A = this chain, B = another copy of it.
């Protein structure tokens, strides 16, 4: 019984989250309403309130879902690499590739991050670093360890370079490259980062 219950609950919650992602991508956070998510999922409006305590709760769970999806993809690609240089290159290529392969998810993530707020009205995009994203933690670890072990010989600040890389990756989502495609940009970014750290 318990299994069946939790199975239904899990499936319904995921169905609603996936509908929310679609709607967020199509019309943006501002225009997204529970009624429109319900219509997209072909369920009644009340059902969303049955599985989530409110709009904020749904958005929080959608954010967690999106971050987890991205993390699963990136970690699966980075973990097998054995030296820090390869991990770093793989991290960059994986993040850029994920954004191309999962554009709907990436856009929905942006919509939430730039609109949802904590209960104290602090926007997610201004949250302090103690709530740091796990992707950022991994990148900082790679840069720090690569420097510690002298695999990266360059004089650089891991904190700063982490920021530069994350920004350079996020930026490609925002301005659709017509001059430069994803593969070319990936090569250029890796080349540039290696110049900085080696």
Q: Which residues of A contact B (CB under 8 A)?
A: 27-30, 107, 110-111, 114-115, 117, 121, 123, 125-126, 128-129, 136, 154, 156-157, 159-161, 163-164, 166-172, 174-180, 184-185, 188-189, 191-192, 195-196
Those 9 A-B pairs whose CB atoms lie nearest each other, nearest first: A167-B171, A167-B167, A160-B188, A114-B114, A164-B168, A167-B168, A192-B196, A159-B179, A159-B180
A29 contact set on B, CB distance < 8 A: 30, 115
A167 contact set on B, CB distance < 8 A: 164, 166-172
A170 contact set on B, CB distance < 8 A: 167, 170-171
A107–B129 alpha-carbon span in the complex (Å): 18
12 A–B contacts from the bound complex (CB under 8 Å): A30-B30, A107-B126, A125-B174, A126-B174, A128-B178, A136-B175, A160-B188, A163-B171, A164-B192, A167-B168, A167-B172, A195-B196
Looking at chain A's contact residues, the main secondary structure is helix
A184 contact set on B, CB distance < 8 A: 157, 160
Nearest-CB residue, chain B, relative to A180? B159
